[in-house]
Amino acid sequence: MLLELLRQRYLEMLRSVPSRWKVLIVDEYTRPMLKSVLSTYDILEEGVQQVDVITAPRSPQPRLAAIYLVMPTAQNVDLILRDFAPHSSPNSTSAQRSSKKREPAHLNAQAEPPRYASAYLQFLEGIDDQLVGRLTSELPHTYLLALKELYLNLHALESRVFSLKSPHAFLSLFSPPGPKVDDSVARWNYEISRMSHILVNALATLGEYPVIRYYSPPSSFHGLLGPAAAAGEPMCKRLAERVQAEIDAYARDNSDFPPISDPPRPRGVLLITDRSMDLYAPFVHEFTYQAMCNDLLDIEDGRTYRYTFRNAANDVEDKEAILTEEDSVWTEVRHMHMKDALDKLIADFKAYAGEHDGKFGQSGGTSLNDMKDMLASLPQLREAKEKLSLHLTMAEKCMHLFEKKKLPSAAFVEQCCATGVTPEGKIPKTLVEEMVPLLDDRSVSSTDKLRIIALYIMHRDGVPEGDRRRLYQHARLALHEMDAVDNLSQMGINVSKDSGKKRKALFKQRPEEDSYDISRFQPALKYMLEEHIAGSLDQTTFPYVRDAPPSGGPSSSRAASVAPTQAGSLRSARPQWTATRGRRTIAELRQRVVVFVAGGMTFSEVRAVYKLSESANKDIIIGSTSTITPEQFVSDLSNLERGPPGSDASPIPPAALSASRKGSKTAILASHSHQTNDRSHTHSLAPPSGQTRYGPETHAHSHSHPHSQEGGPPPGNHMPPPLDSYSSSTSSRHPRKLSPLEYAPSSHSSNLSPHAYSPAHITSTPSPSSIRSVSTTSSAMHTSDPTTVTPRASKPQGSSNVAAEVGEKEKKKKKKLFGF
């Protein structure tokens, strides 16, 4: 869904430029976004001769139109203006003469044409008014042919998954304020501003004007966390209200948003929550294929897997596999339990081998046409075989690590802690006896031991300080690993029994009937969505930003939310999602539910979204600041009290965090329009992919310039350093100190709802309201001395509950946990 929508919008953006041949210029932030939805072949098919990075040296192409697909930053605007600024290069003959006369070469310089024939500016999201003013006043009007805001600023990882790719956001959102409280709150506000921008981009892309609900934890669960305590407002509430204000402004200024469908689609819902709602999910071992691969294998960013294999010549080769939805095998098995996935992979491989080995082993009786067909299908067959072999190899490696790391035993303890019951539905009474031998076992990794301890502490709602230290000793945890467990207290968890407060679970675990014994746990997000769909989700813990929709549910028609059509609209072409496509199928008109998890989403939550979409007949989409693995979450927890790296540095300037408007774009563009009245243009103001701020879609003439000398930037124009400042594109787990040139979405958060503009047809329109950024215990452990606990058959000293009562039934059950 998301990937296909973004693909169509990017293609429409390229096709909106009338020139047959063009150059596409991207920055370091937009390049991976474009690459994730369009292949090189797709781009070349649209007449793009080359793709350049705006900060890199670029050869002049004075006969080609330039499409700038970039973020609306001051640095990018500087580089765009530089491409069309008059500059000069010394004429060789003049230079020789000047050298003889000892005169400066620049006195005999010869003017060069601009780098490109024309500029089509396609900004990924709203651009600040001051930057628009610079572009329209400093860029020669004969070259500026379009200026548009696309609102496509989101990373679509899968058809139902998007991300900010901002792994450091967890620390900015939850780290306790240090000595500089104002700085911590400023970073917190910056992250909220950035999240709201991406959410509005996602909603605009989907064509959804939803009702909004947010997570408001009860006081019995936990209070305000991190900088939210200093700001005096829950994070999810602040984020939800900001998204509501910005999507309202966008709808006011876009008469065709949200689109009207026939028959009407039920109005969508946006549910905003954060990582603190469910801290079990990041620790529990999930044994579905995608989650298990990302947990146990070295997969980069959830999609790139590098491995070695032996080819037909018995030589070792290094290969890289990209795990995307273009891989049909991956898509089919990613949410299956590992046992089921492995069974299917083996069956498919055997079927493939039986079918094609027999087909190509035939002799005689094969016509020439049959042989041609078989030869033509060889590349596809080879690719299918490689995909099956790849996933069989990955599954086999996962199963090897599953046994080597003793995950059957570890997962049994984890499931009892996370669900609160044994596979038989009884309260677990021998967790210490099950757990301590695993903590003593050197074949169990320290990270897995930490996960067991964290889950046990949450299950017990805290343990005495002495018992916790003894558990650390058993597990031989390093200091940073102990910090990770201790810092759970910063996430609202009762780590110690000293607090005396009982933490009540938000949702009761309801294991499925056909679940495996070590796969009984379900993330809280699944239960939240189920109760919301059923209309039973508590409105105190998950309130609406505005009044609840009629009939107590969010499924009412969106007709009431559709803005009235404005007479005299400047648009001559409406966005693609408003086009009439005839009557749609029921599947196309299902209600959309967007759930956003601030602070990171797990693969178990992603899996739950896909499963619920099928079972509940809803289009559910999940987004987050990043996708997290257990290892990454442990690393973040260990650094929680220290905060994000660079947190001692000055945060984003207050002006960058302000969402107030700085003037009218209409006035800015109107002042420029009189310069272009003498030009002949055919105006097509609103491309399917976004909102037009300025510019005709076609022009009757083309620019013709003499060829410029090739090479890098003209002499004297030094390129600035690369745009590595975009936090979303960095692979680092930690943010850098932000510079004034870095992208701060909040600096133009009010620009999310511009009208379409034309240099020949400028109408006055009121500015939307400014959006102001406000900154400003139970029983003890079963054993009093875990250090004396011996393997399961022995009775621990001082324990009131022993393993003898477990019985043989439970022990036999453990032996068939995984079903092999």
Do 472 and 338 share a domain, yes or no?
no
Task: Give domain status of residue 779, yes or no.
Answer: no
- pLDDT at residue 110, as a whole number: 58
Q: Which of 488-502, 695-709, 773-787 has the highest mean pLDDT?
A: 488-502
Count up the domains in the chain and report the number.
4
For residues 665 and 127, what is the distance between their CA atoms, to the nearest angstrom? 10
CA–CA distances in Å: residue 52 to residues 58, 61, 63, 676, 772: 7, 11, 16, 29, 37
Other Cβ atoms closer than 10 A to 437: 18
Q: Which residues pair with 288 in a beta bridge?
A: 337
Contact 506, 524 (CB under 8 A): yes
On the question of pLDDT at 788 being above 50, the answer is no
Distance from C-alpha of 504 to C-alpha of 498, rounded to nearest angstrom: 17
Strand partners, 116: 61
Strands 316-322 and 691-694: unpaired
Mean pLDDT in residue range 65-88: 92
Cα 125 from Cα 149, distance rounded (Å): 5
- 28-37, 138-147, 385-394, 807-816: which has the minimum mean pLDDT? 807-816
Show the 3-state SS of 177-236: CCCCHHHHHHHHHHHHHHHHHHHHHHHHHHCCCCEEEECCCCCCCCCCCCHHHHHCCCHH
Q: What is the pLDDT of residue 656?
A: 37
Span 221-242, average pLDDT? 94
Question: What is the structure's pLDDT at 295?
Answer: 98
pLDDT band at 242 (very low <50, low <70, confident <90, very high): very high
Mean pLDDT, residues 452-470 taken together? 96
Bigger pLDDT: 522 vs 685: 522
**Looking at 78-82, 534-538, 557-561, which range is the least confident one?**
557-561
Domain contains 420:
yes
Q: Across the strands, what pairs with 308?
A: 318
Which CATH number belongs to the domain containing residue 604 in this structure?
Answer: 3.40.50.1910
Q: Rounded distance, CA 639 to CA 176, Å?
A: 11
Q: What pLDDT does residue 510 have? A: 85
H-run or E-run covering 619: strand 619-624
pLDDT of residue 356: 64
Q: Which domain holds residue 471?
A: 407-491
pLDDT reading at 440 higher than 80? yes
Output the pLDDT for position 87. 61
Of the listed ranges 229-243, 251-265, 279-293, the least confidently predicted one is 251-265
Helices (H), 89-180: 92-100, 129-138, 169-174
- Bridge partners (DSSP) of residue 681 are 699
Residues 224 and 309 grouped into a single domain: no
Distance of alpha carbon 285 from alpha carbon 289, whole angstroms = 11
As given in the structure block, the two tokens for residue 411 are 């997962």
Shared domain check, 378 and 345:
yes
**Cα–Cα dist 759/693, whole Å:** 9
Q: Is the pLDDT of residue 773 over 90?
A: no
Q: What is the pLDDT of residue 350?
A: 83
CA 733 to CA 640: how far, in whole Å?
Answer: 13
- Tell me how long the chain is: 820
Q: Are 285 and 407 in contact (CB under 8 A)?
A: yes
In the chain, the amino acid numbered 554 is P
% helix, strand, coil for the chain, step of 5: 40, 15, 45
Find out whether 108 and 53 touch, Cβ atoms under 8 Å. Answer: no
| Residue 572 in this model has a pLDDT that exceeds 60 | no
Least confident among 446-460, 549-563, 734-748: 734-748
Band of the pLDDT at 223, cuts 50, 70, 90? confident
Q: Are 237 and 128 in the same domain?
A: no
Q: Are residues 445 and 481 in the same domain?
A: yes
For residues 46 and 143, state if they share a domain: yes
Structure confidence at residue 554 as a pLDDT band (50, 70, 90): very low
* CATH code, 317: 3.90.830.10
Measured between alpha carbons, how far is 159 from 5 in angstroms, rounded to an integer?
9
> Looking at per-residue confidence, does 36 or 559 come out higher?
36
The better pLDDT of the pair 770, 692 is held by 692
| Whether residue 342 is found in the same domain as residue 437 | no
Residue 814 falls within a domain, yes or no? no
The answer to whether residue 251 scores a pLDDT higher than 80 is yes
91 belongs to a structural domain: no
Contact 91/122 with Cβ under 8 angstroms?
A: no
Least confident of 152-166, 290-304, 646-660: 646-660
Q: Indicate the average pLDDT of the chain.
A: 76
For 700, counting Cβ atoms within 10 Å of its Cβ (0-12 exposed, 13-18 middle, 19+ buried), the class is exposed
In angstroms, the CA 156 to CA 158 distance is 6
Average pLDDT over residues 426-443: 94
Question: What local confidence, expressed as pLDDT, does residue 368 receive?
Answer: 53
User: Does one domain contain both 140 and 77?
Assistant: yes
Q: What is the per-residue pLDDT for 539?
A: 95
d(CA 268, CA 592): 5
The CA distance from 255 to 245, in Å, is 17
pLDDT interval class at 659 (50, 70, 90): very low
pLDDT at 402: 97
Mean pLDDT of 29-37: 93
Confidence of residue 82 (pLDDT cuts 50, 70, 90): very high
Q: Tell me what pLDDT residue 246 has.
A: 96
Question: Which residue among 457, 491, 525 closes a domain?
Answer: 491
349 and 261 belong to one structural domain: no
Q: Is the pLDDT of residue 741 over 70?
A: no
pLDDT range class, residue 380, cuts 50, 70, 90: low
Judged against a pLDDT cut of 60, whether residue 494 lies above it is answered with yes
- % of the chain beyond a pLDDT of 70: 67
pLDDT in tens, 383-410: 888 888 899 999 999 999 999 999 999 9
Place of tokens 């930053």: 73
Q: Give domain status of residue 170, yes or no.
A: yes
Answer yes or no: are the C-beta atoms of 444 and 475 closer than 8 Å.
no
CATH number at residue 444: 1.25.40.60
Highest averaged pLDDT of the listed ranges 298-302, 525-529, 698-702, 791-795? 525-529
**Which of 5-14, 403-412, 660-669 has the least mean pLDDT?**
660-669
Instruction: Give the domain-ending residue among 491, 507, 533.
Output: 491
Residue 112 in 3-state DSSP? strand
pLDDT higher than 50, residue 20: yes
Q: How confident is the model at residue 677 (pLDDT cuts 50, 70, 90)?
A: very low
Confidence band for 265, pLDDT divided at 50, 70 and 90:
confident
Mean pLDDT lowest among 367-371, 381-385, 500-504: 367-371
pLDDT above 90 (res 810): no
pLDDT at 218: 87
User: Count of H helices and E strands in the chain?
Assistant: 26, 19
Last residue of a domain, one of 467, 491, 515: 491
Select the more confidently predicted residue: 709 or 350: 350
Any domain includes 520:
no
CA 628/CA 169 separation, integer angstroms: 12
Which of the residue ranges 186-190, 198-202, 816-820 would you say has the lowest mean pLDDT?
816-820
Q: Are residues 238 and 306 in the same domain?
A: no
Question: 153: which residues sit within 8 A by CB, 6+ positions away?
Answer: 33, 71, 124, 125, 197, 198, 201, 745
Given a cut of 50, is residue 780 above it in pLDDT? no
635-654 pLDDT, tens digit each: 999 999 988 876 543 334 33
Asked if pLDDT for residue 117 goes beyond 80, the answer is yes
The count of other CB atoms within 10 Å of the CB of residue 426 is 11
Percent of the chain with pLDDT strictly greater than 90: 56
Q: How many CA atoms lie within 13 Å of 4's alpha carbon, on the beta-carbon side?
A: 6
The alpha carbon of residue 98 and the mean position of all alpha carbons in its chain are separated, in whole angstroms, by: 58
Whether 647 maps to a domain, the answer reads no
CB 231 within 8 A of CB 775: yes
- The verdict on residue 803 lying in a domain is no
Confidence at 72, pLDDT banded by 50, 70, 90: very high
pLDDT for residue 315: 80
Query: Same domain for 238 and 329?
Result: no
Tell me, yes or no, whether 170 and 307 share the same domain.
no
Higher pLDDT, 22 or 377: 22
Q: Is the dihedral of CA 743, 744, 746, 748 positive or negative?
A: negative
In this structure, are residues 817 and 408 in contact, taking their beta carbons and an 8 Å threshold? yes
- DSSP string computed for 375-442: HHTHHHHHHHHHHHHHHHHHHHHHHHHHHHTTHHHHHHHHHHHHHSS-TTSPPP--HHHHHHHHHH-T
pLDDT at residue 675 above 50?
Answer: no
Long-range contacts for 725-731 (Cβ within 8 Å, ≥24 apart)?
Answer: 726/27, 726/28, 726/29, 726/71, 727/166, 727/168, 728/29, 728/155, 728/164, 728/165, 728/166, 729/28, 729/29, 729/31, 729/32, 729/165, 731/300, 731/301
pLDDT at position 519 over 70: yes
* β-strands 161-163, 592-598 pairing: unpaired
Q: Edge-to-edge strand order for the sheet containing 316-322?
A: 299-300, 304-310, 316-322
